[in-house]
Structure 1
């Protein structure tokens, strides 16, 4: 059996796991629990800028004192891990991921979402890992969420006929919405979008892990597969009365419908709804499945569904929507910018969130 040495960059605060209003989510605790469940994975090292946080993480997962670091580059050099899970703020994702990819020992990096704070760095980290032969994945773990898996299987089996349109209603498009946009992209065939057009409102500061998120957005894009998608953020469900709606030639399927207690429901034409409740396990179970997928793909050589190429497709849509708001017009893909349009509009004064 192959044994993989696992290390972690950014442990977070153990107290956040029990805090209903945490400053962070200490996601590497959940990553670590996923590796801990797998045969052949040994947790060997962790790094955090605050040593006491790293020490608490090490104590929880039986990592020796010699595997506790404040400097992740020292950790890479001394522990020589095979797989690294990265859970730091988005603005340094590319820096940390590429440092891991340049390490002689690292075969795979599993990074928290979103990809990075800018489109340039999102591309750069994907390209750098590809050139180094390092598997790069992102924790779009909701691809493994049981309700979402069931929804995709029903759509693939023809529950709505030929898929024509996807409608999404996340709280925002970047921090949380990346999950829905990634999932929608998967259902549409894991292909890039051709263009995006959208508008945003940003009047009250809304920062998640150092990154601005709009208060409200409405946008439309089209995938190369011909499927159209729309998103409406900000909490108003008058336009999309569910978390996600999938509209096809012969029916509709809704995930998290507003008008039902079921997890998902579907109908053919204008017929009666059929509902189903799927969720039974803890919300963290999909994280375990994502981690297992990372290890399985590393061993098999298969392309991970949460890999960098798929993540780039959804990230391009996010930055493309914000770029459309900046240009006040439709944006064609591939996206020809390097920055983060929302951040740039705030810095320039075009947007002035209070």
Structure 2
């Protein structure tokens, strides 16, 4: 039996989600909700033959009784939409685009709402479903470079836009060992990149994991450039150094593995362009099993998403107050409000 989905959002990424749902045998896209643009709502609903469409999410949920609400709208509207979704008795799972939230209080409220109502929640970190990145994680687990010692993760887009992806992947590569502490620094907000999300243009974080692995995360205009890339969103790379070698992966270029002891050196393609659509489908195809057996967990679940969000907020916190901070920690909104547009 197919899971019924209501999709919330009408821009480009919502189009990608609609296409992925219709490419899967596990879902029926029963409704589309927009925010304020009725013309864009009509165009997207017509494109995918979605009969139920509305600018009122509560009314649409009552009409369609979906199993899943997929929220692909802008982050500043997310909390109110989740409040509406958790109030619908038929909803089993809420899928959320990153970032999870824009402030700590929003993230904590999303977590509280989902727990209080028994709703499952996932945050779409589909990078883990890209073939080269899945292979990279498998190689690291198999000890292809020995014991992991150090991780460098970089993106030229701001921390709120791509930082959660970046930190999540670093944690994924380190098998989600808990973070012991974080120390960070941020620059001012000047809008140097094309992201609509307000965040410092540069952010740097040093992370110590409980297993002794250290990671450095660089986000924004000052981060390293990947040669040949012209799209800032493609300047995403992670280098992992181990006791016997290193592994380097770039989002839309290559996966490289070198083992110093054996002399093994391999380079293969890593492609966002070729695989992101299938990665999104694969991510969505993992949802029915999680809905059927929540106890089995999911590495994109709310608990994992809160870990990467906590790490981002720790960078904000230590940038404002200095020192380093141990996790878990409950953060206040003032660490983010310092970058608010006046």
TM range (shorter): 0.7 to 0.9
Q: Distance in 2 between matches of 1:147 and 1:267?
A: 18
In structure 2, C-alpha distance between the alignment counterparts of 1:182 and 1:101, rounded to whole Å: 25
1:227 paired residue number: 213
1:99-158 C-alpha deviation (Å, 9 max, x unpaired):
211211101111111001111211221232133221100111101111111110110110
Matched, 1:346 2:339: yes
Equivalence for 1:18 = none
Which has the higher mean CA deviation after the structures are superposed, 89-98 or 309-318?
Answer: 89-98
Deviation for aligned residue 1:210: 4.7
Name the counterpart of 1:22.
Answer: none
CA contact (8 A) 1:147 1:264 kept: no
Shift of 1:45: 0.7
Q: Which residue of 2 aligns with 1:336?
A: 330
Cross-structure match for 1:28: 14
Q: Kindly report which structure 2 residues correspond to 1:28-47, keeping only aligned pairs within 5 A, or say none.
A: 28-47=14-33
Verify the 8 A CA contact 1:100 1:106 in the aligned structure 2: yes
Equivalenced residues, count: 330
Aligned to 1:56: 43
Q: Does 1:145 align with 2:130?
A: yes
In structure 2, the CA distance between the partners of 1:178 and 1:257, relative to structure 1 (3 Å rule), is closer
The partner residue of 1:274 within 250, 255, 266 is 266
**Matched residues in 2 for 1:149 and 1:239: separation?**
23
CA deviation map 1:166-205 (0-9, x unaligned): 1111123221121121111122222432211111112522
1:252 aligns with 2:246: yes
Q: Are 2:282 and 1:289 aligned?
A: yes
2:57 paired residue among 67, 72, 81: 72
CA–CA distance in structure 1, aligned partners of residues 255 and 48 of structure 2: 34
CA distance in 1: counterparts of 2:326 and 2:99, whole angstroms: 22
Higher mean Cα deviation, 71-80 or 105-114?
71-80
2:154 and 2:224 in contact (8 A); partners too: no
CA 1:247 to 1:268, structure 2 compared with 1: closer, same or farther past 3 Å?
A: same
In the alignment, structure 1 segments of 5+ residues that lack a partner are 13-25, 350-354
Aligned to 1:263, the other structure's residue is in SS state strand
1:312 & 1:243 partners in 2: Cα distance?
22
Cα displacement string for residues 199-219 of structure 1 (whole angstroms, at most 9, x for unaligned residues): 111252257665322222222
Cα drift, residue 339 of structure 1: 1.3
Are 2:225 and 1:218 equivalent residues in the alignment? no
Deviation digits for residues 215-240 of structure 1, max 9, x if unmatched?
Answer: 22222011233321111233556699
Displacement after TM superposition at 1:53 (Å):
1.6
Which residue does 2:10 correspond to in 1?
11
Cα 1:270–1:202 change in 2 (3 A) is: farther
- The verdict on how the C-alpha distance between 1:117 and 1:97 changes in structure 2, with shifts beyond 3 A counting, is same
1:187 aligns with 2:173: yes
Q: Distance in 2 between matches of 1:94 and 1:319?
A: 18
1:30 Cα deviation from its structure 2 partner: 1.3
- Cα contact 2:181–2:326 (8 A) shared by 1: yes
Moved segments of 4+, more than 6 Å: 239-242
